[in-house]
Amino acid sequence: MSRFQHDLIQILRAFPYLPTIIAIRVTHRFVRHRVLKLFIFLTIVSYCSSSCVGQQKLPNDVASVIRVIDGDTVILRLQGAIETVRLIGVDTPETVHPTKPVECFGSEASAFTHSVLKPQTQVRVQRDVEARDRYQRLLV
């Protein structure tokens, strides 16, 4: 038996938990490196995907207002088709919901949208990344 092996056996007898501690430290170091590599990879992937979406050209069209339904929903003639459109970023109280009563200030919001978007008004439509909402309204 070599001197090194003899000393190692003496150390292990004196400190029986030392192999476990060494294994834990090695595992932590291994996990830290894997987590760091995973973090760097995900950061690069998210940057590439967000820059690709940012460069995506969404169609801009000119449409004609047919009528206003309520404060955030309008019917437009877009490329010859009639589309029900939901205005993104505008959230008004409901006035035309079939099962709910008119909500507070819903009439005022609807009146404002009526005053701004009169029938036959030409509007520029900029579409969202998601084309439609759950009610199949075009998101613009």
For the stretch 38-79, pLDDT in tens is 667 777 777 766 555 555 555 678 899 999 988 889 999 988
Question: Catalytic residues, which ones?
Answer: 86, 94, 137
* CA pseudo-torsion sign 113, 97, 91, 125: negative
Summarize the confidence of residues 1-14 as an average pLDDT.
72
When comparing pLDDT for 33 and 57, which is higher? 33
Q: How far is CA 86 from each of CA 28, 97, 115, 123, rounded to the nearest angstrom?
A: 51, 14, 17, 14
127 close to 139: Cβ distance less than 8 angstroms: yes
Instruction: Please state the φ and ψ torsions of residue 123, each to the nearest 5 degrees.
Output: -130, 150
Residue 123: helix, strand or coil by DSSP? strand
The strand pair at 73-78 and 81-86 is best described as antiparallel
Q: Where are the beta strands (DSSP E) in 7-79?
A: 60-70, 73-78
pTM for this one? 0.55
Summarize the confidence of residues 115-137 as an average pLDDT.
88
